[in-house]
Amino acid sequence: MYPPLPPHDYSDNVSVLEHIRDPLAVIENTDKALRPGGVFLAAVEDEIEEMMHISPNLKAVRDRLAALDYTPVAKCCGIPLLRKPLKPS
């Protein structure tokens, strides 16, 4: 369902993850394609349950990004900008 992404240095997943059935698949796909040291703008806070929020609870996404050692480096309009580690964990 989620095709492989080309290598890149920046990814933006604002207002995406809560609207898809398998947000962890998108995180894994993005992580594989994001170059070491790349940055990821990711809205990972839980959302209210409603018709358009298929996956409102994003705790598993936050946990996975932490396990992958992504670190916050800034915020853009309140959304965390996360840096991928230079070396795999």
Contact 35, 44 (CB under 8 A): no
Gyration radius (Cα) of the chain, Å:
12
Give pTM, 2 decimals: 0.89
Neighbours of 40 (CB within 10 A): 24
List the one residue out of 49, 40, 44 whose CA is nearest residue 16. Answer: 44
C-alpha 5/C-alpha 40 separation (Å) is: 14
Q: Where are the beta strands (DSSP E) in 1-89?
A: 8-13, 34-42, 71-76, 79-83
For 55-64, how does the pLDDT look when each residue is reduced to its tens digit (9 = 90+)? 989 999 999 9
For 24-61, how does the pLDDT look when each residue is reduced to its tens digit (9 = 90+)? 999 999 999 999 999 999 999 888 888 889 898 999 99
